Amino acid sequence: MVLDKAINDMFLNMNRLLTFLILCCFQFGFSQYNEDWEPAEIYLKDGSVLKGQARITMLDRATPFGQKERLRFTEGKKKPIKEIKAKNVDSIVFELSGRVKKNSVNGKRKATFVVIPKNSKKTKLGFAELVVDGELKLLKRKVSNGNGYSLNVVEETLFQQYDNVPVEFNYVELQSFRNRAMAYFQDCQSLVKKIESKVYKRKDLEAIVKYYNSNCAK
């Protein structure tokens, strides 16, 4: 009996330790996930502007178009936090620091986020950073790729044509970029030829979008 009790206590302590370690991993990921409050200006469709700090809920990669995205805003410390509905937003300008060196001034850069449709009826909306504007837009956003124990952040790249639902064109995961891009740009044969001949490759998304807007946009 004493031996059985000792064994049971040992397994109980092991389970408690395992649970603690899992919670620590989850908490680390969760804290990284929720620290993205940045100075922002939110331009609303009614013409008004909200100035303060804001953050956008990061998408779960497993259900990128099913999860509700939340935009939260506060005027400052000790001020109430409000949730702003995407349907009321025209754009958001974040002031990012310490992350991206490109196009930055004194370690900071402006990043404009726009509202995107997540279904053809446009009843579900989300947010993405606008990289190249035009009839064809180049967008990007960060999504979580967690496994329950830690959080891995992946950057997705998207094409949005004529305000339709954006299409993902990722750098790393898309194995057949050339074939897919050639099919996507069938309405721009001069661009198709450049992609087929490898003048434009997977790393040239900004140049591809700019070429399309200059030569093939209707």
28-56: pLDDT as tens digits: 333 333 347 889 999 999 999 999 999 98
For 184-202, how does the pLDDT look when each residue is reduced to its tens digit (9 = 90+)?
999 999 999 999 999 999 8
pLDDT digit string (tens) for 133-187?
999 999 998 877 655 555 677 788 999 998 899 998 875 554 578 888 999 999 9
The span from the CA of 126 to the CA of 68, in Å, is 8
* Beta bridge pairs of residue 108: 97, 105
DSSP string covering 140-190, please?
Answer: EEEEE---SSS--EEEEEEEEETT---EE--SSS-TTHHHHHHHHTTT-HH
132 CB-contact burial (10 Å; exposed 0-12 / middle 13-18 / buried 19+): middle
Lowest mean pLDDT among 25-29, 42-46, 63-67, 73-77: 25-29
| DSSP-assigned beta bridge partners for residue 32 | none
Question: What is the distance between the alpha carbons of residues 181 and 115, in angstroms, rounded to a whole number?
Answer: 24
- The tens digit of pLDDT for each residue in 125-136 reads 999 999 999 999
Which neighbouring-strand residues pair with 112? 93
Write down the pLDDT at residue 149: 53
